[in-house]
Amino acid sequence: MLPKKERLPVQSVVRLRGRSSRNNNFTVKAFWSSTPTPFLSRFGIVVSGKIVKGAVQRNKLKRMIYGVIEEIKSELLKADYLVITNKNIALDDKKLLREELVSLFREIINKK
């Protein structure tokens, strides 16, 4: 789990426009102008109850996403990042989800 200062209050950025990248499972948005601390990246995750019904499954997915973020956050630019799960997310293949999420973060970096 990320420290509180690195967690993004999701309600504050859901409607904002930022640079985004998406695939079948995830949408990743980056916001450079909303960062209150320019030397720190913040991360938020949205997993809808309509997409993943059980709270246990939603929390497992969030922990997996936070684990990926912990691994690659040193490579990322300093900004606010929001990860949104899409409707047809395949929860079975964790390795594939990990690879797709890393590729989306790298794509966001290259767009800037």
Report the percentage of the chain scoring pLDDT > 70. Answer: 95
Domains and CATH numbers, the chain: 4-111 (3.30.230.10)
Query: pLDDT digit string (tens) for 39-58?
Result: 888 999 999 999 989 999 99
Measure the CA–CA gap between 71 and 18, rounded to whole angstroms: 23
Q: Which distant-in-sequence residues (6+ apart) come within 8 Å of 99 by Cβ?
A: none
Query: pLDDT digit string (tens) for 58-109?
Result: 999 999 999 999 999 888 888 899 999 998 887 778 899 899 999 999 998 8
Q: Which distant-in-sequence residues (6+ apart) come within 8 Å of 61 by Cβ?
A: 47, 52, 85, 89, 91
pTM > 0.85: yes
Query: pLDDT digit string (tens) for 5-47?
Result: 888 888 888 778 888 999 989 999 998 876 667 788 899 999 9
Output DSSP code: residue 48. Answer: -
Report the percentage of the chain scoring pLDDT > 90. Answer: 42
